[in-house]
Structure 1
């Protein structure tokens, strides 16, 4: 019901205010849920970034080690040393030494 001025009476006004309060609360809860999801997503992405950076460092170290190993395997003196030490090979005319 409306009073003479066309404004809602007290109980009708309270009903409208209650509905508005419920809508505001629902919007606030929805906003809070969206914010929490976004914060969680950002946190997860930071964790993944950190793990990937660690993995990159490990792979770079492995790459350096493999590059050094490749250089050694391309070095004739190193290959000769391995052949003598591990395989017991000798050059022609040398006397093999047995330990």
Structure 2
């Protein structure tokens, strides 16, 4: 019976050791998964920021081109005729019926 109690004591300690090791492994697994989820969110945010930056750069380039055209007399005349309906002296405006 004494030998049986010794075996139970060793088995009991081994069970606690296994439980502690499993808890530690579970904690590390949880931490790794949580960090991976956080990294994925950061990656999505980075991609969205890159897309917004590209859109802003295209818009900036278009506005710079428009700014350069504002000093061009041909562009000014074209805009005045098309958008404002202006004409030269002696010309009659033609408006097509839609």
* TM-score tier after normalising by the smaller chain length: 0.7 to 0.9
User: Runs of 5+ in structure 2 lacking a partner?
Assistant: none
RMSD (CA atoms): 2.2
The count of residues paired between Structure 1 and Structure 2 equals: 91
Runs of 4+ aligned residues of structure 1 deviating over 4 Å after TM superposition are none
Please, what TM-score do these two structures have when normalized by structure 1? 0.77
Whole-angstrom CA distance in 1 between matches of 2:47 and 2:54: 11
Equivalent residue number for residue 39 of structure 2: 42
TM-score of the two chains, using structure 2 as the length reference: 0.78
Distance 1:29 1:22 in 2: 10
Instruction: Report the equivalent of 2:27.
Output: 30
Q: Which runs of 5+ in 1 are unaligned?
A: none
